[in-house]
Amino acid sequence: MRPSPISAGPARGEEPSRAALRELLSADARHVAPLLLGAVLTHQGRDGSVSVRITEVEAYLGPHDSLYPDPGSHTFRGATARNAPMFGPAGHLYVYFTYGMHHCANIVCGPEGTASGLLLRAGEVVAGHELARARRPTSKSAKDLASGPARLAKALGLTTADSGRDALGAPFRLELPQHPVSGISAGISTGPRVGVSGAGGTDEYPWRFWLSGDPTVSRYKAAKVRPA
DNA sequence: CGGTCGATACACT
DNA sequence: GTGTATCGACCGT
């Protein structure tokens, strides 16, 4: 068996359509973001299937691929056991646990090793409402089912057990929208990231992307400032 | 609808 | 030991 070629391209032997999708995701996260908006992520769990149309994402950059360091990124201080999937190939999931109770999911982007990705901040449940509702009994309306990063992860049934798994293959599926070529970036807004304080949380870094006017997009809240 | 606050356990220093 | 890429309950408007 020959050693694998030195190439940042898709894995050998991958089905062409999946390889093409992975190639698209292997671009800079800030360029991938508009492609992911409107895309549908499906998770087929043992208890059923839920599909979410992604309406809001945030780019997090790796320690070496950006013009500026990104202290808001989990990869800012290098690889750890938790963030290892971020250093892997594009299209895989990085799921982390935070605040003692919430899971949040990212799609890894960029060439392998750059450790950047897109946090899935909000979406609209487009299939599997009953299961999503069962997973999130506290949601008051359909639009609340995945309107927030932890809500989205919960609705899709994602946990840290899914971190590192390929979002482009079973039991997952990722379908990009058929954007008219002329309107790829139409209806997309950008702004500062949510909940990131200090550098990377200001509008120097407008790395939050959402579908303009979409009702599932979370309202902007400035990073919490603690009293002196 | 908007602001405040407590809960919770894990990763990392 | 410290801080967290958040949520939901509660309260006032």
pLDDT at residue A64 in the model: 82
Does A206 score more than 90 pLDDT?
no
CA at A127, C1' at C3: how many angstroms apart? 37
Task: Indicate left, alpha or beta for A75 from its phi (over 0: left) and psi (-120 to 50: alpha).
Answer: alpha
The rounded mean pLDDT for chain A is 86
- Strand C nucleotides, any atom under 7 Å from protein beta carbons: they are 4-9
Taking the CA atoms of residue A95, residue A60, residue A187 and residue A102 in that order, the dihedral angle to the nearest 10 degrees is 30
A83 is near strand B: CB distance < 7 Å: yes
For residue A3, pLDDT over 60 is answered with no
What was the pLDDT predicted at A71?
Answer: 85
Q: Smallest Cα–Cα separation from A116: which of A63, A166, A78, A77?
A: A63
Q: Taking 50 as the threshold, does the pLDDT of residue A133 lie above it?
A: yes
Mean pLDDT is lowest, of A21-25, A69-73, A207-211, for A69-73
Q: How many angstroms separate the CA of A161 from the C1' of C12?
A: 41
pLDDT at A4 over 50: no
Q: For residue A143, with 0-12 CB atoms within 10 Å meaning exposed, 13-18 middle and 19 or more buried, which class applies? A: middle
| Mean pLDDT of all residues in A40-48 | 96
- CATH architecture, domain defined by A52-176+186-211: Roll (3.10)
Residue A73 has pLDDT above 80, yes or no: yes
**Strand B nucleotides, any atom under 7 Å to a protein CB:** 2-3, 7-13
Query: Is the minimum distance from the CB of A82 to strand B below 7 Å?
Result: yes
pTM as predicted: 0.89
Rounded to whole angstroms, how far apart are CA atoms A228 and A216? 34
Cα–Cα distances in angstroms (integers) from residue A20 to residues A10, A17, A60, A93, A174, in the given order: 8, 5, 23, 18, 12
Among A115-124, A185-194, A205-214, the range of highest mean pLDDT = A115-124
A6 Cβ within 7 A of any nucleic strand B atom: no
Domain parsing of chain A, residue ranges = 52-176+186-211
pLDDT at A191: 85
